[in-house]
Amino acid sequence: MFVPSRSSLLETLVDRLADLPSIGRKSAQRLAYHILATPMEDVEALSRVLLEARRGVRPCTECGNHAETELCAVCSNARRDKAVVCVVERPADITAFERLGSYRGVYHVLGGVLSPLDGIGPGEINLANLFSRCDRGVTEIILALGTHAEGEATSSYIVQRLAGRTLRVTRLARGLPAGSDLEFVDEITMQRALEGRVDLRR
Amino acid sequence: MFVPSRSSLLETLVDRLADLPSIGRKSAQRLAYHILATPMEDVEALSRVLLEARRGVRPCTECGNHAETELCAVCSNARRDKAVVCVVERPADITAFERLGSYRGVYHVLGGVLSPLDGIGPGEINLANLFSRCDRGVTEIILALGTHAEGEATSSYIVQRLAGRTLRVTRLARGLPAGSDLEFVDEITMQRALEGRVDLRR
């Protein structure tokens, strides 16, 4: 048979790129060809920035968000309200709130959700820190975990563990997403939207 | 206003990733978060492979394809037929042929197509080498350039320049792509499919 026409360095690059999430074999190939046609200094910059970000970014000691110093940009901001703590699964979830520009509280990143089948119990995620933070002037915990089974179970666990304390514990509203066409809304969302219906005249 | 919650190393990484083709801002962010959660040694490997590929891969001196040595894997393969040369725009186009596993000839990568409006004339692409290759035992040139105006113009130019020579000059067939639903075929493709219709009984 024929010898393959591509160089092995190129193959290795394609393999590595294809390991990244949501990048298929074909996209990886397109990216690799792009990189070979990119000026050397830009490839050097990309290569360097990958390492610098991975080496320089670490968890905030207070909340677990990505940080370059001991505290993340939110925790070290004197204008944020440290009494309101929004509990999220991952640092990426924080950007969804920050985009709003209206949330003034801080965050707590669990780094995962409870999943007994995968061996993830309360000790495996950043829960102990959350409970100890609650002893330091927190007035509200907003649970903002995913609405899948593990997210719900984790929220329930937190609610139970905070049962004796006087702080407010809330969760995000559930219902129809913006722009939804009722015909295509799934049953669980519809059920929750119905259960959570609000009076317009009261 | 609020201080943004993300670290500047992370921002820089997102910016760099978003510069890559077909990676939007949102994908770049998802990739960046993935990279921060990836084991250090894997990020080091990706970073290294980017540089190694960019530094180690260079144009084949014969055809312009990606190569790690003087000749690419196709040109250095004794079993390929050097008398048949398929002319393509970019190295990526070669993989489309190599996937077939049935093409036994070699390639010639122009590295672009003629585009007077963008200042790309015959001297700016790898044409001189193509014509000099034609003096060395080539019996057929297969034009496999894009079917857009610049590709067509480049093909015409090559045909003109080869007018005096005895070699065969062909181009790829045009017509309906596989799996096409006639209702959705564009007019130019349809016109070409009609003009190029073949007799089934002869």
Same domain, A51 and A119: no
Nearest neighbour of B4 by CB, restricted to A57, A67, A73: A73
**Which runs of consecutive H residues, i.e. helices, occur in A121-162?**
128-133, 149-161
Domain count, chain B: 2
- pLDDT, residue A3, reads 44
Nearest neighbour of A68 by CB, restricted to B7, B22, B23: B7
- pLDDT, residue A202, reads 62
A38 chain-B contacts, CB cut-off 8 A: 54
Nearest neighbour of A73 by CB, restricted to B7, B42, B68: B7
Q: Does A70 contact B at CB distance below 8 Å?
A: no
Same domain, A167 and A190: no
CATH number, domain of B142, equals: 3.40.1360.10
> Does the pLDDT at position B171 exceed 80?
yes
CA distance B165 to B175: 29
Whether ipTM exceeds 0.90: no
B7 chain-A contacts, CB cut-off 8 A: 56-57, 66-68, 72-73
- pLDDT, residue A1, reads 41
Mean pLDDT of A36-42: 93
Same domain, A167 and A124: yes
**Model confidence pLDDT, tens digit, residues B54-72:** 999 999 999 999 999 999 9
Residues above pLDDT 90, as percent of chain B? 64
Q: Which of A130-139, A149-158, B191-200 shows the lowest per-residue confidence on average (mean pLDDT)?
A: B191-200
Other C-beta atoms within 10 Å of A134: how many?
Answer: 19
**Model confidence pLDDT, tens digit, residues A55-109:** 999 999 999 999 999 999 999 999 999 999 999 999 988 988 888 888 899 999 9
In a domain, A161, yes or no: yes
Are B66 and A95 inside 8 Å of each other by CB?
Answer: no
In a domain, A73, yes or no: no
> Does the pLDDT at position B99 exceed 90?
no
* Confidence bin at A190 (pLDDT 50/70/90): confident
Same domain, A104 and A184: no
Are A53 and B32 inside 8 Å of each other by CB?
Answer: yes
CATH number, domain of A47, equals: 1.10.8.420
Q: Does A16 contact B at CB distance below 8 Å?
A: yes
Mean pLDDT of A9-31: 92
Taking each helix axis from N to C terminus, what angle separates A40-56 and B8-18, rounded to the nearest 10 degrees?
150
CA distance B106 to B73: 10
Mean pLDDT of B97-122: 92
A142 is in which domain, residue-wise? 83-171
CA A102 to chain B, closest CA, distance in angstroms equals 9
A11-19, long-range: CB < 8 A, 24+ apart: A12/B49, A12/B52, A12/B53, A13/B49, A13/B50, A13/B52, A13/B53, A16/B45, A16/B46, A16/B49, A17/B46, A19/B42, A19/B46
Same domain, A87 and A134: yes
In a domain, B180, yes or no: no
- pLDDT, residue B18, reads 95
What mean pLDDT is reported for chain A?
Answer: 89
